[in-house]
Structure 1
Amino acid sequence: MNGTAMERSAAFAGAQRLPSSKLELFIRRDFLTPDECAGLIDAIDAGRRPSLIADDQGDALFRTSETCDLDPAAPLIATIDARIAAFAGLDPLHGEPMQGQRYAVGQEFKLHTDYFEPTGLDYARFCAETGQRTWTVMIYLNQPDAGGATRFKVPDKIVQPETGKLLCWNNLLPDGRPNPATLHQGMKVRRGVKYIVTKWYRERPRPK
Structure 2
Amino acid sequence: MELLSEDPYMVVFHDVIYQSEIEHLSRISEPLLRRAGVVNDDELDDVLLKFRTANGAFLFMDEGSTKDAQLVGRIFQRMKDMSDLQIKDDAFEYLKYDFGGHYVLHEDYFNYTDEEYADDRFATFIIYLNDVTRGGATVFPHVEIAVHPERGKVIHWYNMNPNSLDYEVRSYHGACPVLIGQKIALAYWIHEQDQMFVKPCLQRPLHRT
TM-score range, shorter chain: 0.7 to 0.9
Measured after TM superposition, the shift of residue 145 of structure 1 is 2.3
- Output the CA distance in 2 between the equivalents of 1:176 and 1:68: 30
Once the two structures are TM-superposed, the CA of residue 55 in structure 1 deviates from its matched residue by 5.3
* 1:97 Cα deviation from its structure 2 partner: 1.6
SS in 2 for 1:98: strand
The one-letter amino acid of 1:24's match is Y
Q: TM-score, normalised by structure 1?
A: 0.81
Residue aligning to 2:2: 16
* Displacement after TM superposition at 1:91 (Å): 1.5
State the match for 1:44 in structure 2: 29
Q: Does 1:87 align with 2:73?
A: no
1:10 equivalent in structure 2: none
Partner of 1:9: none
Q: CA deviation at 1:186?
A: 0.9
Corresponding residue of 1:132:
120
Selected match of 1:186 from 170, 175, 179: 175
Structure 1 or 2, whichever has the larger Rg, is 2
State the partner residue of 2:164: 175
Is the Cα–Cα contact under 8 Å of residues 36 and 56 in structure 2 kept in the other structure? yes
Structure 1 residues 39-188: aligned runs within 5 Å: 39-54=24-39, 59-73=48-62, 74-93=69-88, 97-119=91-113, 127-128=117-118, 131-173=119-161, 174-188=163-177
- The answer on whether the counterparts of 2:110 and 2:121 sit within 8 Å (CA) in structure 1 is yes
User: Does 1 or 2 have the higher relative contact order (CA < 8 Å, sep 6+)?
Assistant: 1
Contact 1:96 1:200 (8 Å CA) reproduced: no
SS of 1:190's partner is strand
How far is 1:20 from its partner?
Answer: 4.8
Cα distance in 1 for residues equivalent to 2:128 and 2:5: 21
1:10-67: CA deviation from partner (whole Å, max 9, x where unpaired): xxxxx1111353x1101011111222222222222121111111257x5541111111
CA-CA distance at 1:92 after TM superposition: 2.6
Contact 2:37/2:49, CA 8 A, preserved across alignment? no
Name the SS of the counterpart of 1:18 in structure 2: strand
After superposing on structure 2, the runs of 4+ consecutive aligned residues of structure 1 that deviate more than 6 Å are none
**Unmatched runs of 5 consecutive residues or more in structure 2:** 42-46, 63-68, 195-209
1:27 to 12, 15, 35: 12
CA RMSD of aligned residues (A): 2.0
Q: What code does the residue aligned with 1:52 have?
A: G
Q: Which residues of structure 1 form unaligned runs of 5+?
A: 1-14
Q: Distance in 2 between matches of 1:162 and 1:60?
A: 26
CA-CA distance at 1:132 after TM superposition: 1.1
User: What is aligned with 1:202?
Assistant: 191
Q: Distance in 2 between matches of 1:181 and 1:98?
A: 24
For the residues of structure 2 that align with 1:161 and 1:199, how far apart are their CA atoms? 16
Tell whether the 8 Å contact from 2:38 to 2:52 is kept in structure 1 after alignment. yes
Q: Distance in 1 between matches of 2:131 and 2:137?
A: 9
